[in-house]
Structure 1
Amino acid sequence: MLAHLTPRAREIVVAARALVEESGPAALTMRALADSLGIKAPSLYKHFPDKSAVEAEVIAIGLLETAQALEAAEERHAHRRDTDAVVDGPEPPTLLAALGAAYRADALAHPYVYMLVTEGPLPRHALPEGLEYRAAAPLLRACGHDMDRARAVWAFAHGMVTLEIHGRFPPGADLAAAWRTGVRALEP
């Protein structure tokens, strides 16, 4: 993902990701980034025109990680389906449920990066070509290429994850049951 950047620019993006991961999107300022690297803030502008360019790189990494998590879930699901004939036991989750679980796990593992990626306009012009589609493709396939259903499923998953990250569910809420109910309602 970072191959198009110079080694110093890659170092800056890694440090920016670490700042976001540790303290949230608001913590990513050019001054804080420079401080974390032990340099003066103006030095950053030799590598990036502005903060939004750095953020776009961190967003691209977050989208790539989401794509990889969903692709891995899709692959595991396909493998389970191939072995279902020889395995006794509980019915494996549907592909949509497997994707939902992977999406949730990825978002909760990196909540601040998730927030940067999903809260606010997506800088499509600054992302690698095809990355947004790659992140959406497993869900689109699970929804039979029905774009409206895929958007509805993503909106459900995003809403659930966002509410969970922000602590908006009451104590003791059975989120696993809410996820199961939502996924069942949206199954193709």
Structure 2
Amino acid sequence: MTDIPIELPPRSPRQAEILSAARRRVEAEGWDALSMRTLAADLGIRAPSLYKHLPNKDAVRTQLLIDAFAQMGRACWQVIEDGAAVPALLRAYRATAAKSPELYRLATRGSLDRAALPDGLEEWSGQPFFLITGDPATAQALWAAAHGLTILQLDGRLPPGSDMDAAWGALAEAFA
């Protein structure tokens, strides 16, 4: 199931190149640093050329959100396929967020235009939490706790010297 069972919109090679540059910019400087002008400059082209491939910054955001949900979903589904339990799911979630922290932030902060995403992608990416807990409310609580700890860790908001492995272990134990 690590293969996405939802049909994702096809991307041309040029769209893939543009989105790769956008992702590099977002990971380096955050979403707010991205504009169509800076993206065009990164690619060595003029901004109007981008509009032939992606109509606006919102379209770039949607495509990056698709990538974020796919990346997290694949990592979490791999845990399910391996027959592992809550600790492994949390390790996969934490590692995936740490690998692409700005993409993670983009996908998890603010409102989400679900209508812009491919049908079923968000549900597919979160389904491992349900499968591992067996209950929708517990799955949401586990995801919320994992997200909270992830953001606190990414933002360096926990007290200096905090044992992050112990905190993640306690979270896993609480939901095991």
Same fold, TM-score > 0.5, yes or no: yes
Pairs within 5 Å for 1:38-187? 38-76=44-82, 78=83, 95-144=85-134, 146-187=135-176
How much does 1:20 deviate?
Answer: 1.1
Picking from 6, 14, 28, the partner of 2:34 is 28
Equivalent in the alignment of 2:3: none
Any stretches of 5+ residues in structure 1 without a counterpart? 79-93
In 1, the alpha carbon distance for the partners of 2:146 and 2:34 equals 26
Equivalent in the alignment of 1:5: 11
Q: Are the counterparts in 2 of residues 66 and 135 from structure 1 also a CA contact under 8 Å? A: yes
Letter in 1 for 2:79: A
The worse-fitting range, judged by mean Cα deviation, of 12-21 and 149-158 is 12-21
**Which has the greater radius of gyration?**
1
Equivalent in the alignment of 1:16: 22
**Identity percentage of aligned residues:** 44
How much does 1:3 deviate?
Answer: 5.8
Letter in 1 for 2:154: I
Distance 1:43 1:2, change over 3 A: farther
In 2, the alpha carbon distance for the partners of 1:175 and 1:6 equals 41
In 2, the alpha carbon distance for the partners of 1:13 and 1:122 equals 19
How much does 1:139 deviate?
Answer: 0.9
Q: Are the counterparts in 1 of residues 8 and 118 from structure 2 also a CA contact under 8 Å? A: no
The worse-fitting range, judged by mean Cα deviation, of 176-185 and 110-119 is 176-185
Q: Are the counterparts in 2 of residues 74 and 98 from structure 1 also a CA contact under 8 Å? A: no
In 1, the alpha carbon distance for the partners of 2:112 and 2:162 equals 31
The count of corresponding residues between Structure 1 and Structure 2 is 170
RMSD of aligned alpha carbons? 1.6
